[in-house]
Amino acid sequence: MTEPTIARIALVDDDDLFRESLSLNLGDEGYEVITFDRGEPALDFFAGGGSVDIVLLDWRMPKLDGIDVLRQMRARGIATPVIFLTVLSDQIYEEAALAGGALDFVEKSRSLSILLKRMRLILDGTKGDTAKAEEETGGSATMHRLGELELRLDNSRAFWKGKRIDLTLTEFNIVKLMSTRPEEDVSYREIYDLVHGKGFVAGYGPSGYRANVRAFIKRIRQKFRSVDANFACIENYPGFGYRWGKGENPAQGGDEDGLDTGSRNGMSEDMLINGAAAE
């Protein structure tokens, strides 16, 4: 009997050698891989009703580059998780990818084991969260409510005051992390580990992961404020991270979007980077 595949993957990359090598490696790991040498046929595949569990997407491709493919996918309502695989390592590309709705950004120089771990995290998030929650609560945990927030755990949908908030899976998981621990401080590192996997080393200095987390928090706030201009439940803990509060202090959930320009006990964030509060 043929072993069932772990998941179905779309690999979009114009590098023939890389595409063939990676598809074979993923096949050996139990994945079913569909390959595309450009963005256009990949979009045609989805337009024709095709579906996969994860898209592995190159950035630089002829005619239609990876970020444009991602934008067109999201504009067409295709919410399939996307991981960028690219030789581009500058932070600006990672931020653009995440801002466009990608769940992860992995350099091609990283080992296969790293990519497999990232894929597993996404698959566990899309397929395992509800089962785990039901197991922990006797099979009834399909909804989480906190004040005006409603999270539907069975399909990763968020609502605020009855209105749908269009969150990506990663953004949903960040909101879930904070809202299931209301009034509790959640560190930058914990949020980053949720996104990238525990222990992943950021490539931009000892506190480089903070910029990544801030970008997520900024987008989440903007999405909530698009339906409620007074939304202020995501509060800052300068030099440490964030918390889901009651939204009674707009200054704590203000428009600085995680820049943490405030201070705590007279110390700036830079002074806290190497201190106990930084982690």
Note the pLDDT of residue 268: 33
Note the pLDDT of residue 272: 29
The single residue listed with the structure tokens 């004040």 is 147
Q: Is the CB of residue 63 less than 8 Å from the CB of residue 42? A: no
Query: Alpha helix locations (H) across the chain?
Result: 16-28, 39-47, 66-75, 91-99, 112-127, 129-136, 169-179, 188-196, 209-225, 269-272
User: Which is higher by pLDDT, 46 or 153?
Assistant: 46
Under 8 Å CB-to-CB from 273, ≥6 apart: which residues?
206, 207
Q: Chain centroid to CA 275: how far?
A: 27
Q: Is the CB of residue 253 less than 8 Å from the CB of residue 236? A: yes
pLDDT tens digits, one per residue of 63-81: 889 999 998 988 888 888 8
In the three-class reduction of DSSP (H, G, I as helix; E, B as strand; rest coil), residue 252 is classed as: helix
User: Which is higher by pLDDT, 260 or 157?
Assistant: 157
Residues 145-152 have a mean pLDDT of 90
pLDDT tens digits, one per residue of 85-103: 888 767 787 777 777 778 8
Going by their DSSP bridges, the two strands 143-146 and 82-86 should be labelled as unpaired
* DSSP designation for 38: S
Q: Is the CB of residue 175 less than 8 Å from the CB of residue 148? A: no
Question: Which amino acid, 72?
Answer: Q
pLDDT tens digits, one per residue of 2-24: 455 578 999 999 999 999 999 99
Q: Is the CB of residue 179 less than 8 Å from the CB of residue 152? A: no
Write out the DSSP string of 9-33.
Answer: EEEE-S-HHHHHHHHHHHHHTT-EE
Lowest average pLDDT, out of 22-31, 61-70, 193-202, goes to 193-202
pLDDT tens digits, one per residue of 125-140: 654 444 444 444 344 4
Note the pLDDT of residue 123: 82
Q: Is the CB of residue 134 less than 8 Å from the CB of residue 142? A: yes
Note the pLDDT of residue 264: 37
Question: Which amino acid, 209?
Answer: Y
Note the pLDDT of residue 57: 93
Write out the DSSP string of 99-146.
Answer: HTT-SEEEETTS-HHHHHHHHHHHHHHHHTHHHHHHHHTTS--SEEEE
Residues 119-126 have a mean pLDDT of 76
d(CA 187, CA 243): 9
Please give the model's pTM, rounded to 2 decimal places. 0.49
Domains and CATH numbers, the chain: 8-125 (3.40.50.2300), 143-244 (1.10.10.10)
d(CA 102, CA 99): 7
